[in-house]
Amino acid sequence: MWIRWQRWHGKLSFTADALLPKYGQMVRIAPNMVLVNDPDAVAAAFVKQNLNTAPKAIRALRVGHERDWTVTYPEMDMAKPRRHPVMVACTTKNLKYWHRHFEDNQEVFLNTLSSSSGRKSHDIVHALRLLTLANSQVVLAGAGLDIGKYHAEFPEIVGQYNFLVVWRLVLPDWIFKWLRWGPSKYARYRVRSSDYLYDVKASLIDEEAKPNDEEPPTVYKLLTQAPSKGPPIEWTHEEISAEMAGQVLAATETTSSTLSFIFYEFAKHPEVQEKLYQELQTIDGNGQLDSLVYLDAAIKEGLRFRPPVALTGSRVVGDGGIVLMGHYIPPGMIVTTQALSFTRQRPDLFPDSDTYYPDRWLLRDEGFEERRRLLVPFGVGTRRCPGGNMAIYQMRLIIAGIVRSFKIELAPETTPDKMAPFEANGFRSKYDRCDLMFVPREKHETK
Ligand code: HEM
């Protein structure tokens, strides 16, 4: 009951984090689950090839019409052939090929933000969901699709889906059958949001089935062609649709929520924006963004401060059990860890950890290497996120585009209470929006 209560109120990670100093770096947070916060112990456990991820958390991520398709699979042998295509499609070489498409998508996004000339606020969560969808679509399935005609509802649907994941983790299964047809329009929409996500992808699959050999391989192409090793996956139309819907979710929500919190922090800290703006003046265009240390620090700090995947990784202990930090953990137990605690529990290396402070990543003292080691928003070990490279690439581009064009200010309606982190399939703002003012730089200068 305790864990359900925490999940319902969107605060499991922070509450569990507060237990660590009291009870030690390993705490049992549910009858079958231990939270481990020792980096060496986590690395030793998560490096194993044969560990499955926790099935209940994964089942809560289902997409499609009351079926078992999911964003990722608990079983390593199911996940492995799905991970490889993401890693190949997201190499820097391939992302550079798609770069001009990312820039085109970004132009649409920046034009939307400039449309108000800084006089009205924009919900950046909504805008970023659209942009990351457009960018992910390129890597997942190529640049030839006009996804604009499909995606208008995407931000709202995905927002509802995030909260549906919480419901699924907390409420019994039978209730969803009732809610699906029940009197509340709101609940019906939420429960059906995972069907809509599936439908968006299913309607695109037929077009995606025409890969262009001149272009780098997309995730879709790699998934559906025969692999160099191992048997090919035999997809039905429904399965590949659900798989692609899952990939879209993995790729967009994480990146857009990290960026939303970063822009909120920028609005509160004009000095960070200014420092970044000055650094961006030292390069032409977007070709050398990877060389900018302050941009890198701003992203690292965003991932540290609000890691978008709350329980960053959970594994089921296999036959024979495992010994961690001197404790025997029997088979069937779930070992979980969270990036949030890795840094919060080290005030010596991350003082004032509740403050967004990119400059901490610029310090070249004796704690430098350890600070880097403790930053694990993409997870640890064999099931680590295969799309991290794409995420960082996109974040650099989007932050640079915004900071070059605008000064970001808080909208009056955006209060600390509204922006309190709430865990709904990762950290979101409590009301799933973040309204900010984007004042064009030239206008700001003449104010
Ligand atoms: C800021 C952005 C992102 C963060 C913080 C993030 C984080 C994570 C984490 C923590 C996991 C689970 C790791 C584990 O269980 O140990 C994961 C899994 C995954 N991520 Fe990401 N991710 C991001 C962006 C992306 C992108 C852009 C893509 C695709 C292009 C992607 C694709 C995936 C996939 C397919 C999985 C499942 C892997 C498996 O089943 O083994 N992610 N991600």
Give the CA diameter of the chain.
69
pLDDT in tens, 409-427: 999 999 999 998 888 878 8
Atom nearest to 339 CA in ligand 1: 10
Containing H/E element for 442? Answer: helix 441-445
pLDDT digits (tens), the chain, 447 positions: 888 888 888 888 899 999 999 998 999 988 888 999 999 999 888 887 667 776 666 677 777 766 666 666 777 777 888 888 899 999 999 999 999 999 999 999 999 999 998 899 999 999 999 999 889 988 988 876 666 656 778 888 888 888 888 888 888 888 888 888 888 898 998 988 888 877 776 666 666 556 667 788 888 888 888 777 777 778 787 778 888 888 888 888 899 999 999 999 999 999 999 999 999 999 998 889 999 999 999 999 999 999 988 777 888 888 888 888 999 999 989 899 999 999 999 999 999 999 999 999 999 999 999 999 999 999 988 888 999 999 999 999 999 999 999 999 999 999 999 998 888 878 888 889 999 999 999 765 555
Exposure string over 123-142, b if 16+ CB within 10 A, otherwise e: bbbbbbbbbbbbbbbbbbbb
Write the DSSP assignment of 131-157 as a string of letters. HHHHHHHHHHH-S---THHHHTTHHHH
Domain ranges of the chain: 2-445
CA angle, 91 as apex, 85 and 94 as ends, to 5°? 95
pTM for this structure? 0.92
pLDDT, tens digit, for every residue of 113-168? 999 988 999 999 999 999 998 899 889 888 766 666 567 788 888 888 888 888 88
Which is nearest to 46 in space by CA: 379, 426, 330?
379
pLDDT digits (tens, 9 = 90+) for 67-91: 666 666 777 777 888 888 899 999 9
Pocket test for ligand 1, best of 63, 98, 301, 385 (most atoms within 8 A of CB): 385
Give residue ranges with CB within 6 A of ligand 1: 53, 72, 79, 83, 86, 90, 139, 247, 250-251, 254-255, 258, 308-309, 312-313, 377-379, 383-387, 390-391
Q: Which amino acid is at 364?
A: R
- Which atom of ligand 1 is the closest one to the Cα of 394? 27
- The number of CA neighbours under 13 Å toward the Cβ of 326 is 2
Write the CATH number of the domain with boundaries 2-445.
Answer: 1.10.630.10
Q: What's the gap in Å between 385 CA and the centre of ligand 1?
A: 4
Amino acid at 310: A
3-state SS class at 436: strand
CA of 97 to the centre of ligand 1 (A): 22
